[in-house]
Amino acid sequence: MRLTCRTSWYAACRCLAVGLCWSLCCPAQPALAQRAQPQLTAAQQARLKEAERLNQQVIKLHEQGKPGEAIAFAKQELAIRKEVYGLRHRTTGTALNNLGYMLFSQADYAAARPYLEQALSVWRDLLGAEHGDVAVALNNLGLLCQAEGDFAAARSNFEQALKINLKAFGEKAKPTATTLNNLGRVLEAQGDLAPARRYLQRALAVREALLGEQHPETATTLNNLGMLLYSQGDSAAALPLLQRSLAARKVVLGAKHPDTAISLNNLGSLYRSQGDLAKARSNYAEALAIWELVYGKQHPMTAAALSNLAGVMHAQGDLDGARRRFEEVLEIQRQIAGPRHPDVAIALTGLALLDWDQANYAAARPRYEQALAIWQTTLGVDHPDTATAHLQLASTDAAEGKWLPAAIHLDAARRGMRRHIARVLPGLSEREQLLFLRGIDASALHVALSLGYHQPDVAEIGEYTASWLLNGKALSQQAIAQRMLLSRASKNPQQAKVVRQLQQVRQQLARLVLTIPSPRDEAAHRQRQSGLEQQEQDLSRRLAQFQRRSAHSDPWVELDQARAALPADAVFIDIARISVRKSRADESNSRWLPERYLAWIVPPAGKGKIRIVDLGRADAVDRAVEVVRVAMTSATGARQQRGAIQSEGELRAEQSYRKQAEDLATLVLKPLLPAIGDVRQWVLSPDSALWLVPWGALPIAEDRYVIEDHPLRFVVSGRDLVAAAAEVDKTNSPVVLADPDYDLNPADVAAATLAVLRRPPTASGQADQISGKSSLPRVSRLPGTAAEAKAIAPRLAIYAAAEPVMYTGKYALEGVFKAVERPQSLVVSTHGYFLADQAITPEYPAAGTTAARSGAAIENPLLRCGLLLAGCNQRGGESATVEDDGALTGMEIVGSDLNGTRLVVLSACETGVGKVQNGEGVAGLRQAFQLAGAQAVVATLWQIPDQPSAQLMSEFFTRLAEGKPAVEALQAAQLTMIESRRKQFGAAHPYFWAAFTLTE
C-alpha cells in the first residue's frame, strides 16, 4: 500500500497498488530431488489427499478475496504436511508460504513473518539459492517488508527475486512479471519514479502477452502503472489505465472483490484531484463497503478507504464527520502496523489539517511533528512526503507568528524537494517534466515564497525566499539542456542511435503539426500525430537512461554563489508570479489569496540586504502588459491598415505610447526603483507575462526610458549567473543565414542542398501520412536582411576572430541550418512564427498535447514556433517527401548542436515571444536555442521593419567588434538609434528599437 495524492494543505489520500506473488503447491522437479523419503503408508497417502483438498480450498478462497476464511484451511494443511513429511520438505515449505501469505493478507504481519521466513529457509536448503520457489519466498517477504514500511528491505528482497527469476525463467515468464511489478511498486514508494515506470512497463508487456488483458494480474499492473503516472501529475495518461484495470477486475473477479475495490479507490483519488468530490466520495464509499465486508474494520485496506473518505468530507466542509473517521483510522493503523508506520503518519496529518483549519495550532503541531519523524525514518529526508511534513509544520509556525522557525522548515522542504526533482526529472519526457512540476511542486513552491509576501522586511526571510526562488525556476529547462548536452558529448553508439531516432520523430511530428489534412484524412492524421507523440516521449525517456547522475551530488545552488557572480555595478531582479498562501485559517473556504507578482532585489555580495517588493495583483499587471504589447504591435499597422506612427506622426505616437505604458510603469517600476537604488546594470529574471514586456521601453522619467540609464540582461533563472559555460574543444566559423527565398520550388531546394551539403535533401519516408495544406501563411521576402548580413559580416569577423560563412537567398535552407555544428556565433535574419494554441476538444486532442492533473490539454509550444527558411511557401506537395521543407520548428532547433556557441542573434519577426510557462520562462525560439546550447540569445518581441532592424544590428556588431560585452553592445546600439531618431524625427518611438532583448 502506498502514500500518494499528497498536496500541501489537504489530507493525504491512500492510493493502493498491490502486486501479489504467492506460491501454490506443486510437485518437486526431478532435477531437484528432495531428500529421500520413506515409503508412505496408506494412511499417510490419505492424509496427503486431504492436504491437497485443503490446498485447493485455500487457493479458491484467496481467488474469491476471502483470505480470512482461508487461514483455518491453510493451518490444517500445514499440520498434515508436517505430520507426513516433517518441516524440511518442499510441499511443507509451500504450506508455510501460503499460511504466511493468508495472514499477511489479513494484516497480521507479526504472525505472517515466521511462516514466510521458514518457507524461505526450507526452499533454500532443499532447492538451492537460485530456485524459483526461493524467488517466491523473497517476493512475499518483500511484500511484508513494504507493508511494514521497510522499503529498503523490500527492495532488496525484490531485487534478489528478480535476479533468480530472470536466470530461471527469462524475461517473458509469469514469475518474472510478478517480481518486476513488485519492484516497480517499491521504487515508486521510495520516489524513484523513472526506474519504477520501466519495471512496471516491462511487467505489463509480459502479462499482456502471456495472460491477456482480462486477467487479474494484468489488471494489477495496469492499476500500478496508472497510479505511477498519476503520481507524476499525468492524470490524462493515468485515467484510461485505471479504467481498464477496473473493467477487467469487474469482469474477471466480480464487482464485490477486494481487488476491484482497489481500482475504485484509486479512481476516486484521481477524481478528487480533478475537483470532482462527489464522484470521488462515491468511489471511496463503494470501496469501503467491499473491504469492510471482506476484511472487517481492523484492516489497512478498510483504513485506507476511511482515510480517503474523511479527506473528501473535510474538503466538502464536514469537519466533524472527517475528524471522527480520521480518529478511527489512526486507531486502526496503530493497532495493525504500530505507532511509526507511514500509514499512521497519514492519519496524523489528516487530523492535523483539521486542527489547522479550525485554528487549533497547538493541537496540529505535535501531530505534524510525529508525521515528520515517521516519514524521515521510513522514507528519508528527500522524499516528497517528508518535504510535505516540513511544509505543514511551517504553516503552523507561520500561523502562530513564528516566522523564522517556519523558514527553517520550509528550507528543509525546498532542499529535499530539489534533490528529489533532480532525480526524477531526467527520466521524464519534456512534457512529463512540466506536468510533474505543476502537479507535485508548484503549489509547494508558492507556499514557501508566500513567506516573503507576509514578512518582506525581515532580512533572513528575504535570503531564504530568494534562495528558494533561485532553485525553483526553470528546472525543466535545465534538465532538458543537460540531457541534450550529455547526448551530444556521448560516444555511446546506442545513445547516438536513440538521439537520431528522436530527431527523426521530432522532424516528422513538426511537419504534421504544421499540416492541415484533407477532411478524409483527418482521422488518419490524428492517429499518426498521436503515435509520433508517444514515440517522442518514449525515446526521450530512453535517452534519459543513458544519463548518469551522481547520488552524492547536490543540485542546490547557494544564494551566495549567485551574489558573488553578479558584477559590482549590477543588481539581480528575480520576479515570480505566485498564488499567495494565507498565513492563518479564516472563515472562507479558500486557503489562498489571488495571484500576485513579487520581486526579489538581490544585490552583489556585500552590497546590502535583499529586498522583497510586492508588484500587486497579477491580473492587473497582466492587463497593463497587454496594453503595452498592443501599443507596440499596432504602432505601424498591418497590411492595409495605418498604425499610430503613420496616422499621427512619430512624436504624437510616442507620446501616446508613454501614456499607455504609464500604468505598467506605475505597477512595476515605481515600487521597484526605490529598492533597486542607483545601480547601473539590471539582471532580470521575469515570470509569466512580464517576459513579454519591453523593459527597456518603460518610461523611467518624464523624457527617459529604462534603457537610457540601465543596460538590461535577462536570465531564465538566477542559477544562470553561476552556471559555467560548457567546455568545448573548439567552435567553428560564425554562420549567417539571411534573406531566404521563400518561394524556392522543391527541385531548386534539392539542387541548392546538393550544392552546399554535397547530398540531396533527406527523404522523409512519410509522404503518405503528411499530405495536406500548410497551416503557415505565405510570407514575403525580406531583401533588407541581405543588406543587413552584408553590413555586419566584417564586424562579425572581428568579433569571432574568423570569417563568417554566409547563406542567403536559395542557400538559406533548413537543411543547411541543421548541418551547422557549433558555430562561434549564429545570425538568422528571417521571419519567425508562433502559432496560437489549437482548439482542443475532449474527443480530438490536438497534436503535441498532453494533459495536466485537471485533465486540460497542454500543447508543446516548441512544435508551434519556428523560423521560415528557403522554400517554406511551397510546403506540401513535393516538399512533403523531404525532411527539410523550410519550416524549422523550435523542437528541431533543440536537436541542433550549438554547444559552445557564444551568441545567437535572431533578427527576425517576434523571435522572443512564445508560450508563457510560469516558472519556466517563455517556451519559444529563444528557449529552443538555449536548449541547443547557445550561451546568449538576442531575439525580438515584435516585428520590426528591415531598415531599422539592419541599422540596429549593424551598430550592435560594431560595438561587439570593439570588445564590448553583448549587454553593453545592445544598449549602445539602442541608444544610438534613439539619438538618431530624435535628431531626425524629434521622437524615438520604442517600436523601432526596444524589441531586441538579450537572454543569457
Query: Looking at the domain assignment, is residue 958 inside a domain?
Result: no
Q: What is the pLDDT of residues 101-114, one digit of tens each?
A: 999 888 888 899 99
Supply φ then ψ for residue 558, to 5 degrees.
-75, 145
Question: In this structure, what C-alpha cell is assigned to residue 642?
Answer: 495605418
pTM over the 0.85 mark:
no
Q: Which of 235, 314, 250, 205 is nearest to 4 (CA)?
A: 235
Residue where a domain terminates, one of 929, 944, 959 = 944
Residue 400 clears pLDDT 90, i.e. is over it: yes
Q: Are residues 61 and 173 in the same domain?
A: yes
Q: Which of 736, 620, 686, 725 is nearest to 919 (CA)?
A: 686
Q: What is the pLDDT of residues 732-742, one digit of tens each?
A: 999 999 999 99
Q: Is 732 helix (H, G, I), strand (E, B) or coil?
A: strand
Rg (CA), the chain: 32
Provide the pLDDT for residue 738.
93
CA contacts within 13 A on the Cβ side of 466: 29
Q: What is the pLDDT of residues 485-539, one digit of tens each?
A: 666 666 777 877 877 787 777 777 767 766 777 777 777 877 887 788 778 777 7
pLDDT range class, residue 833, cuts 50, 70, 90: confident
Neighbours of 400 (CB within 10 A): 16
Provide the pLDDT for residue 234.
87
Identify whether the C-beta of residue 739 lies closer than 8 Å to the C-beta of residue 829: yes
Provide the pLDDT for residue 827.
95
Mean pLDDT is lowest, of 329-338, 408-417, 743-752, 881-890, for 881-890
Q: Per-residue pLDDT averaged across 1-12, rounded?
A: 27
Q: Per-residue pLDDT averaged across 605-622, rounded?
A: 95
Amino acid identity of residue 337, one-letter, is A
How far is the C-alpha of 180 from the C-alpha of 225, rounded, in Å? 12
Question: In this structure, what C-alpha cell is assigned to residue 177?
Answer: 512479471
Residue 476 clears pLDDT 90, i.e. is over it: no
pLDDT range class, residue 182, cuts 50, 70, 90: very high
Mean pLDDT is lowest, of 32-41, 172-181, 361-370, 655-664, for 32-41
pLDDT range class, residue 285, cuts 50, 70, 90: very high
Residue 852 clears pLDDT 50, i.e. is over it: no
Query: Looking at the domain assignment, is residue 410 inside a domain?
Result: no
CA contacts within 13 A on the Cβ side of 125: 13
Mean pLDDT rounded to a whole number for the chain = 85
Amino acid identity of residue 706, one-letter, is V
Supply φ then ψ for residue 808, to 5 degrees.
-130, 165
Query: Looking at the domain assignment, is residue 117 inside a domain?
Result: yes
Q: What is the pLDDT of residues 777-824, one digit of tens each?
A: 788 888 888 888 999 999 999 999 999 999 999 999 999 999 999 999
Q: Is 731 helix (H, G, I), strand (E, B) or coil?
A: coil
Supply φ then ψ for residue 987, to 5 degrees.
-160, 160
Provide the pLDDT for residue 484.
66
Pick 880 or 330 by higher pLDDT: 330
User: In Å, how far are 12, 240, 349, 463, 479 from 920, measured between CA atoms?
Assistant: 28, 29, 31, 22, 12
Find residue 940's DSSP bridge partners: 996
Query: Looking at the domain assignment, is residue 371 inside a domain?
Result: yes
Q: Are residues 683 and 806 in the same domain?
A: no
Supply φ then ψ for residue 491, to 5 degrees.
-105, 5
Query: Looking at the domain assignment, is residue 106 inside a domain?
Result: yes
Q: What is the pLDDT of residues 117-140, one digit of tens each?
A: 999 999 999 999 999 999 999 999
CA contacts within 13 A on the Cβ side of 886: 35
Q: Are residues 651 and 766 in the same domain?
A: no
Amino acid identity of residue 870, one-letter, is A
Query: Looking at the domain assignment, is residue 8 inside a domain?
Result: yes
For residue 912, what are the domain limits?
A: 735-786+802-944
Q: How far is CA 719 from the centre of its chain?
A: 19
Question: In this structure, what C-alpha cell is assigned to residue 665?
Answer: 510603469
Pick 35 or 938 by higher pLDDT: 938
Q: Are residues 693 and 745 in the same domain?
A: no
3-state SS of 319-383 is HHHHHHHHHHHHHHHHHHHCCCCHHHHHHHHHHHHHHHHCCCHHHHHHHHHHHHHHHHHHCCCCC
CA contacts within 13 A on the Cβ side of 289: 9
Provide the pLDDT for residue 734.
96
Mean pLDDT is lowest, of 46-50, 154-158, 183-187, 510-514, for 510-514
CATH code of the domain containing 241: 1.25.40.10
User: In Å, how far are 53, 164, 216 from 133, measured between CA atoms?
Assistant: 21, 9, 21
Q: Are residues 715 and 741 in the same domain?
A: no
How far is the C-alpha of 90 from the C-alpha of 136, rounded, in Å? 13
How far is the C-alpha of 95 from the C-alpha of 51, rounded, in Å? 9
Per cent of the chain over pLDDT 70 is 86
Q: Are residues 223 and 297 in the same domain?
A: yes
101 contacts: CB under 8 Å, gap ≥ 6: 22, 67, 112, 116, 140
- H helix or E strand, kind and range, residue 958: helix 946-961
Q: Are residues 47 and 75 in the same domain?
A: yes
How far is the C-alpha of 141 from the C-alpha of 158, rounded, in Å? 9
Residue 451 clears pLDDT 70, i.e. is over it: yes
Cβ-count burial 501-539 (b if 16+ within 10 Å, e if not): bbbbbbbbbbbbbbbebeeebeeebbebbeebbebbbbb
Q: Are residues 181 and 84 in the same domain?
A: yes
Q: Are residues 693 and 759 in the same domain?
A: no
Cβ-count burial 328-347 (b if 16+ within 10 Å, e if not): bbbebbbebbeeebbbbbbb
Angle at 220 between CA 273 and CA 25, to 5 degrees: 150
Q: Which of 418, 425, 338 is nearest to 386 (CA)?
A: 418
CA contacts within 13 A on the Cβ side of 717: 23
Query: Looking at the domain assignment, is residue 511 inside a domain?
Result: no
Provide the pLDDT for residue 798.
95
Query: Looking at the domain assignment, is residue 595 inside a domain?
Result: yes
Mean pLDDT is lowest, of 26-35, 149-158, 714-723, for 26-35
24 contacts: CB under 8 Å, gap ≥ 6: 55, 59, 94, 98
Q: Per-residue pLDDT averaged across 980-988, rounded?
A: 94
Q: Cell 550592435 identifies what position?
A: 956
Residue 153 clears pLDDT 70, i.e. is over it: yes
How far is the C-alpha of 536 from the C-alpha of 546, rounded, in Å? 16
Question: In this structure, what C-alpha cell is assigned to residue 815?
Answer: 537543411
Q: Per-residue pLDDT averaged across 273-294, rounded?
A: 94
How far is the C-alpha of 389 from the C-alpha of 378, rounded, in Å? 13
Amino acid identity of residue 64, one-letter, is Q
How far is the C-alpha of 984 from the C-alpha of 567, rounded, in Å? 36
Identify whether the C-beta of residue 48 lies closer than 8 Å to the C-beta of residue 25: no
Q: Are residues 714 and 762 in the same domain?
A: no
Residue where a domain terminates, one of 333, 348, 380 = 380
pLDDT range class, residue 22, cuts 50, 70, 90: very low
Amino acid identity of residue 592, one-letter, is W
Q: How far is CA 255 from the centre of its chain?
A: 35
Supply φ then ψ for residue 25, to 5 degrees.
-65, 130
Per cent of the chain over pLDDT 90 is 55
Provide the pLDDT for residue 520.
76
Q: Are residues 782 and 695 in the same domain?
A: no
How far is the C-alpha of 538 from the C-alpha of 423, rounded, in Å? 18
Q: How many domains does the chain have?
A: 3
How far is the C-alpha of 29 from the C-alpha of 131, rounded, in Å? 11
Q: Are residues 672 and 777 in the same domain?
A: no
Provide the pLDDT for residue 11.
29
How far is the C-alpha of 568 from the C-alpha of 832, rounded, in Å? 36
Provide the pLDDT for residue 993.
95
Residue 846 clears pLDDT 70, i.e. is over it: no
Strands 773-774 and 515-516: antiparallel
Provide the pLDDT for residue 767.
43
Q: How far is CA 97 from the centre of its chain?
A: 41
Question: In this structure, what C-alpha cell is assigned to residue 915?
Answer: 508560450
Alpha helices in 701-804 (DSSP H): 746-757, 767-770, 783-800
3-state SS of 510-564 is HHHHCEECCHHHHHHHHHHHHHHHHHHHHHHHHHHCCCCCCCCCCCCCCHHHHHH
Angle at 300 between CA 296 and CA 306, to 5 degrees: 75
29 contacts: CB under 8 Å, gap ≥ 6: none
pLDDT range class, residue 548, cuts 50, 70, 90: low
pLDDT range class, residue 59, cuts 50, 70, 90: confident
Residue where a domain terminates, one of 927, 944, 961 = 944
Q: Cell 526579489 identifies what position?
A: 600
Provide the pLDDT for residue 590.
77
